């Protein structure tokens, strides 16, 4: 049958699909982004770098190996003629090769007078990111709430990305990451014994996923001795002091047994580190007599404290303040 209505004759198929979506609960369920689950997930700022700030220059350290693990090492310009201290820097999901992470290490080294060792926590397998969305105009339209095709693609990308991140987290569990850290820590203590001695121990700073491992390194634990006569043997803490920014996948249990002084940079209303966990962790640290400080930053995204370009002046200022908080805490301990 011929189409007699000029308006109908010129309508694009996408318009019909959009209207069908509004009338069809099934299509709406497919196209609309799924609400975040109760179980915490890694956000984009955990797995994607911000643009590198203009004028930052190239990283000054070197990629090498330590204890058989790939690491980035950066040293103060005057080291070793001028004594320095040793800092272990533990990254978020963007990992070792991230320029922003390397620049962050350079900052601690130059401004804090640290030999900074940043290990590859993920064995050459950084977290999957969301750059695919930038290259597809349909997905861009879908992310802005328009276009059925774009929303359908966006949903597919989000589902695939969530699955990929879940699989990535399954590959990089505590029993995989902690041995990497201890191998690097043991080798660094030997390689930079002068810096460890000068600082009276090892310092640590961590962001996102790496933040949780700073807490674990600051714990004292008991384990069975090698023979019956030894009974329970205490081990740890492995660091002298730690600074943590927007830690991810943290629980109250991570603060049990904590002995090392710790500074926490937290984001207000952060689903990665919920307020109830933060409150419980503060109570646990007070109960354990742990020296600590907790600063909560409003109006900033998770991941804000890592080197990266933001247009919002409030975020820029908070970024500087958070870095200053972490550096001062480490310097004072």
230 CB neighbour count, 10 Å cutoff: 10
pLDDT for 222 equals: 83
Name the pairing type of β-strands 241-245 and 202-207: parallel
Tens digit of each residue's pLDDT (9 = 90 or more) over 110-167: 999 999 999 999 999 888 874 434 444 544 444 445 555 555 555 655 666 677 878 8
Q: Which residue is listed with tokens 């660094």?
A: 188
Per DSSP, 51 falls in state: P
DSSP letters spanning 286-328? HHTT--EEEEEETT--TTTTSS---S-HHHHHHHHHHHHHHHH
pLDDT tens-digit profile of 213-237? Answer: 999 999 998 877 666 666 678 899 9
pLDDT at 242: 98
What average pLDDT does the structure give for the chain?
83
Q: With 50 as the cut, is the pLDDT of residue 3 above it?
A: no
> What is the distance between the alpha carbons of residues 48 and 75, in angstroms, rounded to a whole number?
26
pLDDT over threshold 60, residue 5: no
pLDDT in tens, 233-256: 889 999 999 999 999 989 999 999
């Amino acid at each position: 049958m011929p189409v007699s209505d000029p308006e109908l004759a010129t309508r694009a198929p996408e318009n019909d699909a959009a209207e069908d979506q509004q009338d069809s609960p099934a299509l709406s369920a497919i196209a609309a982004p799924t609400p975040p689950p109760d179980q915490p997930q890694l956000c984009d700022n955990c797995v994607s770098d911000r643009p590198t700030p203009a004028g930052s220059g190239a990283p000054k350290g070197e990629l090498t190996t330590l204890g058989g693990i790939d690491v980035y090492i950066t040293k103060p310009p005057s080291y070793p003629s001028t004594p320095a201290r040793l800092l272990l820097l533990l990254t978020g999901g963007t990992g070792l090769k991230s320029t922003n992470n390397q620049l962050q290490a350079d900052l601690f080294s130059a401004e804090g007078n640290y030999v900074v060792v940043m290990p590859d926590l993920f064995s050459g397998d950084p977290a999957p990111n969301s750059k695919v969305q930038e290259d597809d105009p349909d997905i861009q339209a879908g992310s802005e709430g328009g276009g059925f095709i774009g929303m359908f693609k966006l949903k597919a990308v989000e589902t695939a990305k969530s699955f990929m991140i879940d699989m990535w987290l399954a590959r990089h569990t505590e029993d995989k990451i902690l041995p990497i850290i201890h191998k690097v820590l043991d080798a660094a203590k030997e390689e930079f014994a002068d810096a460890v001695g000068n600082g009276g121990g090892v310092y640590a700073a961590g962001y996102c996923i790496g933040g949780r491992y700073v807490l674990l390194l600051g714990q004292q634990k008991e384990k069975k001795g090698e023979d019956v006569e030894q009974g329970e043997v205490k081990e740890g803490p492995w660091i002298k002091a730690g600074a943590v920014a927007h830690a991810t996948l943290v629980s109250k249990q991570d603060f049990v047994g904590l002995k090392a002084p710790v500074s926490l940079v937290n984001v207000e209303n952060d689903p990665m580190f919920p307020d109830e966990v933060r409150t419980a962790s503060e109570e646990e640290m007070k109960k354990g007599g742990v020296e600590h400080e907790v600063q909560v930053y409003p109006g900033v995204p998770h991941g804000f404290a890592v080197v990266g370009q933001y247009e919002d002046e409030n975020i820029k200022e908070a970024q500087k303040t958070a870095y200053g908080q972490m550096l001062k805490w480490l310097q004072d301990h």
